[in-house]
Amino acid sequence: MVRGASASRPAAMTAFDLIGTAPGLNLSAMFERGAAVARTPTRFASAAEPGDILAAVRAAAAALGFAAPAESRNFKLRMEGPGRRGPLVALAQVFEMCPGLHMLEVRKVRGDTLEYGEFYRRLEERCAPLMLARGKPEAEAGVPVPPRVPSSGGLSNSV
């Protein structure tokens, strides 16, 4: 369960929440009746501050013709825009994975799935400077890496 957010920090994710983000390990469809499969969230990790992430998402959404309120509570941002088959509504939320590392999750609330996919692709392009580079080691991607603890010279794990 995600721990609650405070006014200065986003909600923190537990190990179970992180495991649940893996598509192959997400068992929520077994327990939620009537859950739409099309409501799959899209997410990316960032080392930026939560407020900076939401500000960038708000600016990107506005550039794409979506309205997003100036205020956001609990590090959530609701974005509404026109769609071909009615309004498209998406919800963005920032989670803290560990100190200094955040995850932005964007979820379709209402609207056409194909339009949402196009909206997210364009939003992701505009927010690319905030994203951690996929497939790069943490140090190259801008993630603070804790220093290694020196091993004691006398102990050995060799067999």
Query: What pLDDT tens digit does each residue of the chain (159 aa) get?
Result: 445 545 567 767 666 666 665 555 555 555 555 444 444 568 888 999 988 999 999 999 999 999 988 666 778 899 999 988 899 999 999 988 888 889 999 999 999 989 999 999 999 899 888 888 655 544 454 555 545 455 555 555 554
Q: What is the pTM of this model?
A: 0.65
Instruction: Out of 3.40.50.300, 3.30.310.80, 3.40.50.150, 3.30.930.10, select the CATH number for domain 11-134.
Output: 3.30.310.80
- 68-86 per-residue burial string, b: 16 or more CB within 10 A, e: under 16: beeebeebebbbbbebeee
Nearest to 98 by CA among 140, 121, 132: 132
